[in-house]
Chains A and B, each alone.
Chain A
Amino acid sequence: MKQKVNEILAEKGRKVEAVIPILQAIQEEYNYLPEEALQQVADNSDITLERIYGISTFYSQFRHEPVGKHMIKVCVGTACHVKGATQVYDAFKRQLNISEQDETDADGLFTVDKVACLGCCTIAPVVQIDQTTFGHVEPSKVKEILDDFLSSDGNPEASKLATDLSDTDKDGEVRIGLGSCCVASGSSDVKRELEESLQKNQANVDVKEVGCVGICNQVPLLEIHKPNESPTFYTKIKAEEVSDIIRKHFRSKSIWTRWKNDISGMIDQYVLKDIPKSVKRYDSEQVDTPVAEFLDGQINIATEHRGFLQPNDLEEYLKLGGFQSFKKCLKELDQNAIIKSIKDSGLRGRGGGGFPTSIKWEMVKNATDKEKYIIVNGDEGDPGAFMDRMLLESYPFRVIEGLMIAAIAVKASSGIFYIRAEYPLAVKRIKEALYLCEKAGLIGNNILESGINFPVEVFEGAGAFICGEETALIASVEGNRGLPSMRPPYPAVKGLKQKPTLINNTETFAMVPWIIREGAEKFEEIGTKNSKGSKVFALAGKINRGGLIEVPIGITLREIVERIGGGIPNGKAFKAVQIGGPSGGCIPASMMDTPIDFESLKEAGAMMGSGGLVVLDEDDCMVDIAKYFLSFTQDQSCGKCTFCRIGTTRMLEILEKITSGNGKMADLEMLEKLAYSTKKGSLCGLGKSAPNPILSTLQYFKEEYLEHINGTCSTGKCQEMIEYFIEEECIGCTKCAQDCPTEAIAIKPYEVHIVENEKCIKCDICRQVCPVNAVIIR
């Protein structure tokens, strides 16, 4: 161990600011942080044991106990929560016989953990076992998933690209999305199958890996592009269905050529008739298809060339005009001109606050220090948000270009990508992209022969929502616990290492190249009076077509939910939209025509936030939603100031009292009062906005709170207030009884079954497995 730790220290350095990377490396090596190793770090570096322990216990990434061989991460993000993530988590623990206070099973095989958000909201509930992600997980399927994982354990091979396709005269191109959602839904298997099947059929076809297409709940998505034909989309495709599709589109060359010349129209018919049943096929020119509707009404600035761009193909990005804006800034525009463009465009920070971007830039530009830093804030911690992840994964060059333009504009000396560790693919893609850019002379030393140096590095966040707050983020880069500090001084004046530091959100940087290239006026034309341009949202929850969307600011919620999202599934009634995550609020269905811009949302009691947009239907309990968000902020509070540390805890306790049916009117009054004082008295944005989900639900859904105080939760979400009951429709199939983990239902073939409520743990499995919907909650 001694040698290993020394190696790590030699690589990461022995200074205070290296502490987080050092701990990450140790954990990577040992899968936890052995005390001995930490002591050794303290003995051989500038880092004290107090600092090490303070940090290793602050960030949720770090562990002091060894974990099981496999990590099961149950996502409890918003979208997963509304689809029953807690029950999934319970089911895993139950299946593995893990007691309430433990996390690892007796054999040390599995550790079950909750994670804030894996950013795969569209296929919720999501569970990740090691590197494999499972979507649409139900408590009743947990055993199956574990078996499936164990049987394939050890051979999930990294897919290799087909190499022997000849380069000339392509017959077409097959595009496959490889964003996190797609991969989670099995796109790498699809890809492997695709390559094999193309080889088998000797098809002369390009396979193109593209970034996130945005239609995340229809993934894996396959697009077939053929010369002179409109592309065809296949959604929700499975690996075993690939070869059929390929056979139908691309026969061996000779046959294909013949078909192409003679009976090209026939193929589509043939395909339509014969495509596998689980797959849906759409022609891109058909306007009334879900895919077309989804894409229509969107606007692509941050997501330009969506579904076409290969994430790590720098040449392609350059061919499509990439880095033109940067070159223009480097060679033609002076600092003021760049900042003027940004100012004229009206761009405001996309991280949530909506602070005018040009003001920050101006402040940093005006600082006379030689050392100035720029940080790309990719610490997207909101449950239910995955915009930054998708932008970093799919458009790494665009974000880098935005950063570089800022570097020129404010004359910064170096840059940092701060990306949360929960986004391994984003980290990987950015690192690759930075490498390619450096090789191409776009970053690093003597950029494009200009004599300007601008090194860029990646800092991996270690799991703390608070680090999205800029002062806390800086604290963590400096090797401290991520505690926010009082502003002013603003980072633009005194930031990283006390030097002027420009921090913008990932999405903000992604807007910049477009603005420079197309002109500020064009950007300014989009949007509303005070909110310009487009905004990327992560649309998830109870919606037919969830995914990543980029829309002009000012679009109404109705347009997003009904047109782009295709409304609410299963004929349920639309209830509200939760927007802005834990800092935001719920906007009721009655206010669907609210335009989405910074001011209108604030007025409505929500906020733009970073862009999480979770749709709720009649089955969602608004008190439960408030409790969900509060328990998130309570858990993520850094613990520094009184109102946030204790205030959020007390509010949560009140909400727990209410959702367990023990609330009184006085509790409601105290909740509201405490919410207001926490808003007023907290130090940073986290505490100040933490009460928003409570206040907005109190504003629009007070009757639901009153209902709980009177003893009922009509949606049945509040477990302590409900009972399961089997109605007369029961056909006596015994399925529920067989699957019940606590034997609360006795097996009685052909009779109406009965739930013994004393034994029932409300895992919801019986209701899910019942073939005739006889199990109800009351």
Chain B
Amino acid sequence: MIKLKINNQVVEVAQGTSVLKVAESLGIEIPTMCFKDGFGNHPSCMLCLVKDAKNGQLHPSCALPAEEGMEIITDDEEIFEARKESLELLLSDHVGDCEAPCRTACPAYMDIPKMNHFIAERKFDEALKLVKEEIALPLILGYICPAPCEGACRRSQAEAPVSICELKKMVAEEDLKSDDYYLPEKLASSGKKVAIIGSGPAGLSAAFHLLKFGHSVVVFDKNEEAGGTLRYDIPEENLPNSAVDAELKMVKKYGAEFRLNTTIDKAIFEQKLKKDFDAIVFALGNFEDGKMKDFGFENNKFGLVADKATFQVNEEGIFACGNVIRSRKMAVTSVAQGKQVAHSIHDYFAKKAPEKIYRMFNSRFGKLKQEEVGEYLKECSSKVPEPFEGPIDVSKNRVELKKEARVFTMEQGVEEAERCMHCECRKLHTCKLRIYSDKYKADRRKFMFGERKTLKKHMQHELIVYEPEKCIRCNLCVDISALQKDSLGFTSIGRGYTVEINIPFNKNMKDVFDKTALECAEACPTGAISLK
């Protein structure tokens, strides 16, 4: 037995145990990517670096044998920085998106690829539920959203972007057709009351999400009908009032109380609202209209000043979102802010400092190179030949809404959703590179100054997809298939920075990993090898 110290804890272990395993036995977590039990001296990612306290040197703990008298530190600032830097170096060589560009472009962070998946599979209910996670008013936005998501859609590099906005409208319209439309289950009633001033997209969105959290909501509006800019500023041909009515009805049914024809001035605010409500949201469409200057909150040339992350103004319990903090915002931004305000208020009620809704780390690489478009088209068409040499003549064209029609038919919707190239990563939730980049707050752009490599998607295999530019060269797949004497496996090709994991002599990807495909996909720490 060997005695050593890890983070000042004395521990006795058998000869030959790695420091990683010793730490594990003490419940100390050390991050790893390239390590897998049974594959010993294999350090490559250098994420598991620990420090020898005696000389200050860093070593990969997965391969470092425990020695008598050793003193190991597993976490300090230097180690944190080294791990972070190794992640940043890996990211600089990683061509791949975590979330698809459409989703990261959407101010409401709607999970577009997943919605498309559901629609293509004719699971319209599921699609609608997913949309409503982020967007309280999908029908209205279906009409008026300028669709920044479609601007980011990679399909537009092949021909036209996917009609994301129409698809969302379609599922919302379908949902609201009957009276039995979807209303998310609410949390138990909190007994807290929130006043929302303004019934435009920001106010309605805040109301919807507050209700979901179990708080009660009163919406004040100066006009005789609710809807704010949606009803009064946008012409009927762009946004029919029937759509506004339908979603207003939905919010009302969900539990919001509306007090119309009510202008909130400074006096009412101070004497009544503050007394009767636990939190107040300013969601007016216009800073000037509401005479907001009189209220005495901090403001600037754009309007009311609210915290960028939480939208709280300079008084606790008072929030602001939508055009009142900066006019001429897209409605979808107001909707997104409404959701954030609901979260901030929920935190506030729980006596926590309000926090921004957490978004996980996202790797992004921007536009496709021309030669990469075909690689992505493979994701949505089995007709793309391998290897793809272009030009694109096998893709389906964008489904256009017929002139007189208001929404897609289901068939059109399915056809359109099938055009999605699914730019999101297949290992969105399990990729260790993403998980640790998130944890170590890695800056993905820090070392990105070289020209990025060109990506490929190998999809010939029955079970797996191989994307070399997501590979971190851990060699686990090479070792797994070699160990099990698979008929044909990957190998490391070349040396140094250009080393690549692939099949010898460019043999067909179909024939690789006969026995070990699933194991390799599972062992692969990133999205490089994933299940189809």
Question: In the bound complex, what is the Cα–Cα distance between A276 and B496 (angstroms)?
Answer: 51
Which listed residue (B67, B449, B489, B495) contacts A58, Cβ 8 A?
Answer: B495
For window 101-139 of chain B, which residues contact chain A by CB distance below 8 Å? Answer: none
Question: In the bound complex, what is the Cα–Cα distance between A510 and B491 (angstroms)?
Answer: 39
**Which residues of chain A have C-beta atoms less than 8 A from B497's C-beta?**
634, 637, 639, 645-646, 648-649
Is the beta-carbon distance between A639 and B63 smaller than 8 angstroms? no
**Which residues of chain B have C-beta atoms less than 8 A from A643's C-beta?**
46, 85-86, 89
**Which residues of chain B have C-beta atoms less than 8 A from A634's C-beta?**
496-497
Question: In the bound complex, what is the Cα–Cα distance between A486 and B48 (angstroms)?
Answer: 13
Question: In the bound complex, what is the Cα–Cα distance between A282 and B163 (angstroms)?
Answer: 89
Whether A270 is near chain B, meaning CB under 8 Å from some CB there, is no
Tell me how far the C-beta of A53 lies from the nearest C-beta in chain B, rounded to whole angstroms.
3
CB closest chain-B residue, reference A683: B43
- Output the residue of B43, B90, B496, B497 with the most chain A CB within 10 A: B496
Tell me how far the C-beta of A502 lies from the nearest C-beta in chain B, rounded to whole angstroms.
20
Is the beta-carbon distance between B46 and A649 smaller than 8 angstroms? no
Interface size class of B (residues with CB under 8 A): 35 or more
Is the beta-carbon distance between B491 and A642 smaller than 8 angstroms? no
Which listed residue (B472, B488, B495, B498) contacts A464, Cβ 8 A?
Answer: B495
Whether B221 is near chain A, meaning CB under 8 Å from some CB there, is no
**Which residues of chain A have C-beta atoms less than 8 A from B60's C-beta?**
486, 641, 683
Whether A343 is near chain B, meaning CB under 8 Å from some CB there, is no
Is the beta-carbon distance between B44 and A641 smaller than 8 angstroms? yes
CB closest chain-A residue, reference B494: A57
Is the beta-carbon distance between A647 and B89 smaller than 8 angstroms? yes
Tell me how far the C-beta of A535 lies from the nearest C-beta in chain B, rounded to whole angstroms.
27
Question: In the bound complex, what is the Cα–Cα distance between A97 and B60 (angstroms)?
Answer: 49
CB closest chain-A residue, reference B475: A640
For window 485-532 of chain B, which residues contact chain A by CB distance below 8 Å? Answer: 488-499, 504-505
Question: In the bound complex, what is the Cα–Cα distance between A641 and B473 (angstroms)?
Answer: 8
Is the beta-carbon distance between A50 and B450 smaller than 8 angstroms? no
- Output the residue of B46, B85, B447, B482 with the most chain A CB within 10 A: B46
Known contacts being A53-B491, A486-B59, is A640 close to B473, with CB within 8 Å? yes
Question: In the bound complex, what is the Cα–Cα distance between A609 and B63 (angstroms)?
Answer: 27
Is the beta-carbon distance between B46 and A49 smaller than 8 angstroms? no
CB closest chain-B residue, reference A651: B447
Which listed residue (A48, A638, A653, A674) contacts B482, Cβ 8 A?
Answer: A48
Whether B410 is near chain A, meaning CB under 8 Å from some CB there, is no
Which listed residue (B43, B481, B496) contacts A645, Cβ 8 A?
Answer: B496
Whether B58 is near chain A, meaning CB under 8 Å from some CB there, is yes
**Which residues of chain A have C-beta atoms less than 8 A from B58's C-beta?**
680-681
CB closest chain-A residue, reference B58: A680
Tell me how far the C-beta of B493 lies from the nearest C-beta in chain A, rounded to whole angstroms.
5
Is the beta-carbon distance between A54 and B493 smaller than 8 angstroms? yes
Is the beta-carbon distance between A639 and B496 smaller than 8 angstroms? yes
For window 474-529 of chain A, which residues contact chain B by CB distance below 8 Å? Answer: 481, 485-486, 488-489
Whether A35 is near chain B, meaning CB under 8 Å from some CB there, is yes
- Output the residue of B44, B85, B488, B495 with the most chain A CB within 10 A: B495
Is the beta-carbon distance between B85 and A49 smaller than 8 angstroms? no
Whether B41 is near chain A, meaning CB under 8 Å from some CB there, is yes
Whether A657 is near chain B, meaning CB under 8 Å from some CB there, is yes
Which listed residue (B59, B482, B494) contacts A50, Cβ 8 A?
Answer: B482
For window 441-474 of chain B, which residues contact chain A by CB distance below 8 Å? Answer: 447, 449-450, 472-473
Tell me how far the C-beta of B490 lies from the nearest C-beta in chain A, rounded to whole angstroms.
7
Is the beta-carbon distance between A639 and B499 smaller than 8 angstroms? yes
CB closest chain-B residue, reference A688: B57
Is the beta-carbon distance between B488 and A58 smaller than 8 angstroms? no
Is the beta-carbon distance between B46 and A641 smaller than 8 angstroms? yes
Is the beta-carbon distance between B449 and A650 smaller than 8 angstroms? yes
Is the beta-carbon distance between A58 and B93 smaller than 8 angstroms? no
**Which residues of chain A have C-beta atoms less than 8 A from B447's C-beta?**
646, 650, 674
Is the beta-carbon distance between A649 and B450 smaller than 8 angstroms? yes
Is the beta-carbon distance between A57 and B496 smaller than 8 angstroms? no
Tell me how far the C-beta of A688 lies from the nearest C-beta in chain B, rounded to whole angstroms.
10
Is the beta-carbon distance between A49 and B495 smaller than 8 angstroms? no
Is the beta-carbon distance between B63 and A485 smaller than 8 angstroms? yes
**Which residues of chain B have C-beta atoms less than 8 A from A49's C-beta?**
488, 491, 504-505
Whether A413 is near chain B, meaning CB under 8 Å from some CB there, is no
Tell me how far the C-beta of A219 lies from the nearest C-beta in chain B, rounded to whole angstroms.
35
Is the beta-carbon distance between B496 and A681 smaller than 8 angstroms? no
Question: In the bound complex, what is the Cα–Cα distance between A674 and B86 (angstroms)?
Answer: 10
Whether B158 is near chain A, meaning CB under 8 Å from some CB there, is no
**Which residues of chain B have C-beta atoms less than 8 A from A218's C-beta?**
none
Tell me how far the C-beta of B66 lies from the nearest C-beta in chain A, rounded to whole angstroms.
11
Question: In the bound complex, what is the Cα–Cα distance between A184 and B61 (angstroms)?
Answer: 49
CB closest chain-B residue, reference A489: B65
Is the beta-carbon distance between A639 and B473 smaller than 8 angstroms? yes
Is the beta-carbon distance between B49 and A681 smaller than 8 angstroms? yes
Chain A window 625-666, contacts with chain B (Cβ cutoff 8 Å), 1 for yes, 0 for no: 000000000111111111101111110011001000000000
Question: In the bound complex, what is the Cα–Cα distance between A464 and B495 (angstroms)?
Answer: 9
Question: In the bound complex, what is the Cα–Cα distance between A723 and B81 (angstroms)?
Answer: 42
Which listed residue (A486, A636, A637, A650) contacts B89, Cβ 8 A?
Answer: A650
Residues in A lying within 8 Å of B, measured CB to CB: 35, 38, 48-54, 57-58, 60, 464, 481, 485-486, 488-489, 634-643, 645-650, 653-654, 657, 674, 677, 680-683
Residues in B lying within 8 Å of A, measured CB to CB: 41, 43-46, 49, 57-60, 63-65, 67, 81-82, 85-86, 89-90, 92-93, 447, 449-450, 472-473, 478, 481-482, 488-499, 504-505
**15 contacting pairs across A/B (C-beta < 8 A):** A49-B491, A51-B491, A58-B494, A464-B495, A481-B495, A486-B41, A486-B60, A486-B64, A488-B67, A637-B495, A638-B495, A642-B44, A643-B89, A647-B89, A680-B57
